[in-house]
Structure 1
Amino acid sequence: MKSITITGSKRESVGKKATKALRNAGEVPCVLYGGDEPVHFNAPEIAFKDLVYTPDAHTATLELDGNTYMAILQDIQFHPVTDRILHIDFYQIFEGKEVTMTIPVHYEGNSRGVRNGGVLRKTYRTLRVKALPKNLPDYVVADITKLKIGDKLYITGIEQGEWKYLHPDNTVVCQVRTSRNVVEDMDDEDEDEETEGTEATEQAADAAE
Structure 2
Amino acid sequence: MKTLEITGEKREDTGKKNAKNLRRNGRVPCILYGGKEQTFFSAEEKSFKNLVYTPDLFEVRLKIEGKEVGAVMQDIQFHPVSDRILHIDFIELIEGKKITVDLPVRLTGNSAGVMEGGQLIQKMRRLRIKALAHAIPEFIEIKIDDLVIGTSIKVEDVDVENIEFIDSPNVVIVRVKAPRELKDIEPEVLDEELEEGEEGAEGIEGEEGAEGAEGVDGKPKEGDGRDGQPKAEGGGNKGGDQKGGDQKGGSGDSN
The alignment's TM-score, normalised by the length of structure 2, stands at: 0.66
The 5 Å alignment of 1:1-209 reads: 1-158=1-158, 160-180=160-180
Q: 5+ residue gaps in structure 2?
A: 186-255
Instruction: Return the alpha-carbon distance in structure 1 between the equivalents of residues 17 and 97 of structure 2.
Output: 38
Instruction: Return the alpha-carbon distance in structure 1 between the equivalents of residues 117 and 156 of structure 2.
Output: 26
Provide Cα deviations, 1:148-188, integer angstroms capped at 9, x if missing partner.
10112233544623322224554432111212298889xxx
RMSD of aligned C-alpha atoms? 2.2
Flag the 1:182–1:104 CA change in 2: closer, same or farther, 3 A. Answer: farther
SS of residue matched to 2:145: coil
Q: How many residues align?
A: 185
Counterpart residue identity of residue 178, structure 1: A
Q: Check whether the contact 2:35–2:94 (CA below 8 A) recurs between aligned residues.
A: no
Once structures 1 and 2 are overlaid, which stretch shifts more, 125-134 or 169-178?
169-178
Distance apart, 1:112 and its partner CA: 1.5
SS of residue matched to 1:14: coil
Provide Cα deviations, 1:101-148, integer angstroms capped at 9, x if missing partner.
110101122211112221222222111112111111111111112111
Could you tell me which residue of structure 2 aligns to residue 188 of structure 1?
none
SS of residue matched to 1:59: strand
Instruction: Return the alpha-carbon distance in structure 2 between the equivalents of residues 168 and 20 of structure 1.
Output: 39
Counterpart residue identity of residue 43, structure 1: A
Q: Check whether the contact 2:28–2:45 (CA below 8 A) recurs between aligned residues.
A: yes
Distance apart, 1:90 and its partner CA: 1.2
Counterpart residue identity of residue 94, structure 1: I
Distance apart, 1:39 and its partner CA: 1.0
Could you tell me which residue of structure 2 aligns to residue 198 of structure 1?
none
With a CA cutoff of 8 Å and minimum separation of 6, indicate the structure with the bigger relative contact order: 1
The alignment's TM-score, normalised by the length of structure 1, stands at: 0.80
Q: Check whether the contact 1:117–1:183 (CA below 8 A) recurs between aligned residues.
A: no
Q: 5+ residue gaps in structure 1?
A: 186-209
Instruction: Return the alpha-carbon distance in structure 2 between the equivalents of residues 147 and 81 of structure 1.
Output: 41
SS of residue matched to 1:114: helix
Counterpart residue identity of residue 64, structure 2: L
Provide Cα deviations, 1:55-114, integer angstroms capped at 9, x if missing partner.
211121211001122222111111122211111111122022111111010112221111
SS of residue matched to 2:88: strand
Percent of matched pairs sharing the same residue: 44
Instruction: Return the alpha-carbon distance in structure 1 between the equivalents of residues 183 and 168 of structure 2.
Output: 33
Instruction: Return the alpha-carbon distance in structure 1 between the equivalents of residues 43 and 174 of structure 2.
Output: 39
SS of residue matched to 2:114: helix
SS of residue matched to 1:128: strand
Once structures 1 and 2 are overlaid, which stretch shifts more, 127-136 or 162-171?
162-171
Instruction: Return the alpha-carbon distance in structure 1 between the equivalents of residues 169 and 16 of structure 2.
Output: 46
Instruction: Return the alpha-carbon distance in structure 1 between the equivalents of residues 158 and 143 of structure 2.
Output: 7
Counterpart residue identity of residue 56, structure 2: D
